Amino acid sequence: MKTLYVVRHGQTYFNVQHRIQGWCDSPLTDKWIKQAKQAHEILKDVNFDTLVCSTSERCCDTMEYIAPNQPYQRSKDLRERWYGEVEGEVYIGAGQQDIYGDTLTSKVGGESAQDVKTRVSYYLQQVCHDRDSQVILAVSSGVSIAYFLETCHMDPSLEAIKETGVGNCCILKLTWGHDMFTLVEIMNQNL
């Protein structure tokens, strides 16, 4: 059985401004330092064999704070969903379905939910198939993580994460066995 820790990047200015942040990037806020310190404290005694991260600057900065001086692999497969023409725009409406559903991206370009789910899940499966990777840390973005979780088995008591979403610097602990991810713990959710 392998262990995978998945962490969402720290808070960015686009998060605060309620802007659509897919492949575009925005700087991390001062609050992310507090979030990253807490995530670092939780994970500091874990001995990671493999560290992987989105190519987004917000994810790389978060990784480097949580696991300082440790080498990591960057992958475009862990990037956030691409939102086409509305990258950087202010959210239209109150519900997440307004920006996260496939209706919007079919009109303005971008990736489908299934495309994101497939690329993130496939990449993390490949990392787990590496025999040298027993304990893995992955840093990615909220929507990509949410779609990845749809492919995972989880205890009903943890299903609320699908409704609440993954908070900034939230840590998800999963196991990998029998070609299946299982969410076993949610840490640091309310930063």
Binding residue numbers for substrate:
8-15, 58, 80-83
Q: Find the radius of gyration of the CA atoms of the chain.
A: 16
| Gap between the terminal Cα atoms of the chain | 29
Binding-site sequence positions: 8-15, 58, 80-83
Instruction: Return the structure tokens found at 169.
Output: 């610097």
The residues, any chain, with a CB within 8 Å of residue 17's CB and separated by 6 or more, are: 90
Instruction: Return the structure tokens found at 46.
Output: 């874990």
Respond yes or no: is residue 80 known to be catalytic. yes
Respond yes or no: is residue 129 known to be catalytic. no
Which residue blocks in 55-141 are alpha helix, DSSP H? 57-66, 97-100, 102-108, 113-129
Question: How many angstroms separate the CA atoms of 29 and 100, rounded?
Answer: 23
Amino acid type, 31: K
Residue 185 has a CB neighbour count (10 Å cut-off) of 12
What are 135's strand-pairing partners?
3
What are 96's strand-pairing partners?
none
- Residue of 18, 41, 80, 85 marked active site: 80
Q: Mind telling me the catalytic residues? A: 9, 80
